[in-house]
């Protein structure tokens, strides 16, 4: 391997701490953005806030375990007179098993969010949901099977030789789910808004979805390459995925909040990220009608009629008003 195991674990701890700090800041910003929406963001709060909290708890627990492992490896030595490399090389250690469970759970949760978003945007079609749910179930099963295999791994076996087929299956299915769903979501939004892409504010949302999906997919790809090559760089790539899942989630939430709820003339209420395209053929007309899934604000239109007769006396239909006859009576003083 190009990098020693103990050095790889220190680098992994540094990168995970750095990305966890980014995730913490973005999480607080997302939480404030959702809580300050008022009644218009009630539905979003009920769905997104608990999901973000769970992701934050998983990322925090994962980071704490890494710090505890570093203390045991370099300072306490886990109660034994062993070096750090021998400690980290014991992949059946209970803390390493818990860390793997947190990683699989966080990744599965992130994949489920991507599948749900794709399902909603594609008009809630079961033909889209069912295959992705089956794929997600197989992926989660492969992930927890890897955890079970690590627990049963004898001493002296490295991560590159334990349950290698299942690990590659888990990485491959995760990457396929994210690339497929992100591509479908981006294509759907672009197809709906392409006639008015310059006049709408949905283009930043489209870019946020594509960029966040590309960010997560590139991290999984780096993990696959380093693991397949047997490089020690797989350990940093493995540890940064857990906070990175939360970062991509927060980026999409913030992009939607800042670009779809801000308006120069007042806020626009968005109930969901999804944008549905309803193509209905009108009688006698070959045109399509685009319907966006957010309520419009009341619109007050003030109009004035401009006449070509500035003076009303010049109008042809103008008639001089008649003055009623008044009878004059002499009233005695």
CATH of the domain at 175: 1.20.1070
> Are the CB atoms for 260 and 205 separated by under 8 Å?
yes
| 251 assigned to some structural domain | yes
In the predicted model, is pLDDT for residue 208 greater than 50?
yes
pLDDT band at 136 (very low <50, low <70, confident <90, very high): very high
| 106 assigned to some structural domain | yes
How far apart, in whole angstroms, are the C-alpha atoms of residue 45 and residue 166?
36
Query: Quick one: pLDDT at residue 67?
Result: 95
| 32 assigned to some structural domain | yes
How many Å is the maximal CA-CA distance in the chain?
Answer: 131
Mean pLDDT of 68-91: 79
CA 138 to chain centre: 22
**For the chain, what is the domain count?**
1
Share of the chain above pLDDT 70, in %: 67
CA neighbor of 8 nearest in space, from 241, 242, 247, 226: 226
User: Residue 48's domain spans which residues?
Assistant: 5-260
| 278 assigned to some structural domain | no
How far apart, in whole angstroms, are the C-alpha atoms of residue 280 and residue 292?
14
Query: Quick one: pLDDT at residue 124?
Result: 80
| 236 assigned to some structural domain | yes
| 168 assigned to some structural domain | yes
SS3 304: coil
What separation in angstroms does the CA of 291 have from each of 44, 189, 192, 276?
21, 12, 9, 6
SS3 312: helix
| 266 assigned to some structural domain | no
- Residue 128's H or E segment, with its range, is helix 126-151
Query: Quick one: pLDDT at residue 25?
Result: 95
> Are the CB atoms for 49 and 36 separated by under 8 Å?
no
| 291 assigned to some structural domain | no
Instruction: Please report how many Cα atoms fall inside a 13 Å half-sphere around the Cα of residue 97, on the Cβ side.
Output: 11
pLDDT band at 278 (very low <50, low <70, confident <90, very high): very low
- Evaluate if pTM is beyond 0.85: no
Q: Which residue has better confidence, 43 or 269? A: 43
Mean pLDDT of 47-67: 93
CA 154 to chain centre: 39
């Amino acid at each position: 391997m190009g990098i020693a195991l103990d050095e790889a674990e220190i680098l992994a701890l540094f990168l995970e701490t750095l990305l966890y700090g980014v995730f913490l800041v973005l999480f607080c910003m997302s939480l404030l953005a959702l809580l300050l929406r008022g009644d218009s963001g009630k539905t979003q709060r009920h769905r997104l806030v608990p999901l973000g909290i769970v992701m934050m708890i998983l990322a925090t627990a994962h980071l704490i375990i890494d710090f505890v492992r570093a203390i045991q490896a370099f300072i306490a030595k886990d109660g034994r007179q062993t070096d750090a490399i021998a400690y980290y090389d014991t992949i059946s250690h209970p803390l390493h098993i818990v860390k793997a469970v947190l990683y699989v759970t966080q990744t599965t949760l992130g994949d489920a969010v991507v599948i749900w978003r794709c399902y909603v945007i594609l008009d809630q079609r079961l033909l889209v949901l069912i295959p992705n749910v089956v794929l997600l179930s197989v992926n989660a099963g492969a992930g927890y099977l890897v955890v079970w295999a690590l627990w049963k791994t004898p001493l002296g076996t490295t991560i590159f030789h334990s349950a290698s087929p299942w690990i590659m299956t888990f990485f491959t299915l995760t990457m396929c789910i994210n690339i497929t769903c992100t591509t479908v979501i981006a294509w759907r939004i672009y197809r709906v808004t392409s006639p008015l892409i310059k006049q709408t504010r949905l283009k930043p949302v489209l870019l946020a979805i594509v960029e966040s999906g590309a960010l997560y997919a590139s991290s999984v790809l780096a993990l696959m390459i380093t693991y397949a090559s047997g490089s020690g760089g797989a350990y940093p790539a493995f540890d940064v995925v857990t906070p990175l899942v939360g970062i991509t989630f927060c980026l999409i939430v913030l992009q939607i909040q800042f670009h779809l709820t801000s308006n120069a003339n007042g806020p626009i209420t968005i109930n969901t990220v999804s944008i549905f395209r309803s193509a209905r053929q009108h009688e006698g007309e070959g045109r399509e009608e685009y319907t966006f899934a957010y309520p419009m604000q009341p619109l007050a239109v003030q109009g004035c009629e401009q006449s070509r007769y500035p003076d009303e006396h010049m109008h042809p239909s103008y008639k001089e008003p008649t003055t009623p006859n008044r009878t004059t009576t002499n009233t005695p003083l």
